[in-house]
Amino acid sequence: MLRNRIKANLKIIFLILFINVLILIPKSFAEKDKEIKVGILLGFTGVVESLTPSMAESAELAFYEINSDAKLANEITFKIKRYDTTCNNIKLAKNAASKIVKDRVSAIIGAACPNVTIEIAKEFSIPKKILMISPSDTSNELITLKDNGFLFRTTPSKIRGSQILAEITKDRGIRSVAISYGRDNDYEKFAKAYSEILNKNNIKTSIMVPHIKNTKDYSNHISTLTAAGGDALAVISNIKLGGDQIIKSMLDIGMFNVFILPDDMIEDKIVDEFKNKNLKKSFGYLQGLTNIGAEKFINLAQQSGIDPTSPYTGESYDAAAIIILSNFSKIYSEKKSIKDNIYSVANKPGTKIYPGEIKKAIKILREGKFINYEGATGVEFDEAGDSFGSFFEVDLKRGKIKTKKIR
């Protein structure tokens, strides 16, 4: 009896000691060796294979800042793995997503191609509650997707450009606009949204008509636009859909002397058409990086042998940084959901954080203070999880692009 009583007392003592040890363990030690698996889901083979290596390297650059720090790695270790979607083969893309689920990945950077992103999101990331941040998918369909807070993107949607272009048009004092758009779902939505915003600002749309690619004779289309008239002609398109032919035809007949162009239309071939024309008032916009953030990212990328001018490299770095910071935020704050922690670190208010300052940001979070991750691209998420983006208003004068201001 006495032996049993002694054993029982010893068990109670050991239990009390064990509970006290747990209470006294520092929070950072309790989180020691917490591993977060992140999948970089991009088209490493296929039509975008020339772009994706730089995107992946940019994302990995952000993780290197943390994993190379022993103290921070003691709290969270990020394990990175690349997965190939091939971009235009949805079956292979879904196979890659299946591997991500099997590997128990907690977050995805990707995808790069529109049809891939939405399919992977609907079938894998949303139902499996895996955070997904796309650095390059601009499709409008993602805006209304019910993602339950698991899908974000660090590049703005195409429709965001229509708002920017409408703001610039208003500020330029234009009172009526003729619109020619490429026969494509995204460009049609862009043109309609652009026209609606103009209308709200008492700017008339004289006509809005589509043009078809590879048409040998645009005379009927040109005649229709000419008859409608307007202070300016907005060409919502690209070269592949015949946007350059619309401008060339209009310059030949001399009808419009003010052209309004979205970023897809501002290419060398089109700008060259303006060289010998006195078109001082034509304008448009280009997506760009914030001044401070861009400079810091360019320096950081070049030091690591990454080409910072390659498309979506800044957006890829920002996607990785937000994943890192939101996970550290979860440790130091009372916010439990992925969505809440992402908005907390990426949006106002708080200390502005730029590329190369992830450790600084973590220190601020540890102190219980707020950060506002601006990054390379001026990240600020709207309610749909889309970045507002950074845009340059540009003038097109005699074959030269001149930046006027940041929007």
Percent of the chain past pLDDT 70, that is, above it, reads 90
Name the CATH superfamily housing domain 31-158+291-373.
Response regulator (3.40.50.2300)
pLDDT band at 270 (very low <50, low <70, confident <90, very high): confident
- What is the tens place of the pLDDT at every residue in 235-259? 999 888 999 899 989 988 888 989 9
* Tokens found for residue 328: 């550290």
Mean pLDDT of all residues belonging to the chain: 88
Answer yes or no: same fold for 31-158+291-373 and 173-280. Answer: yes
Q: Which residues pair with 36 in a beta bridge?
A: 78
Hey, where are the domains in the chain?
31-158+291-373, 173-280
Instruction: Output the DSSP codes for 103-149.
Output: TT-SEEEE--SHHHHHHHIIIIITTTT-EEEESS---GGGGG---TT
Tell me if 341 sits within 8 A of 324, measured CB to CB: no
User: What would the pLDDT profile of 91-124 be if each residue is shown by its tens digit?
Assistant: 999 999 999 999 999 999 999 887 899 999 999 9
Strand order in the sheet with 259-261: 204-211, 176-182, 232-236, 259-261, 283-287, 391-397, 400-406
How distant, in Å, are the alpha carbons of 210, 218, 265, 297, 365 from that of 215? 12, 7, 18, 43, 58
**CA 246 to each of CA 164, 216, 234, 271, 283: distance values in angstroms, whole numbers, following the listed order:** 22, 11, 10, 13, 16
Q: Does domain 173-280 have CATH number 1.10.274.10?
A: no
Sign of CA dihedral 99, 105, 111, 117: positive
**Cis? peptide before 294, omega within 30° of 0:** no
Neighbours of 44 (CB within 10 A): 20
Exposed/middle/buried for residue 351 (C-beta within 10 Å: 0-12, 13-18, 19+): middle
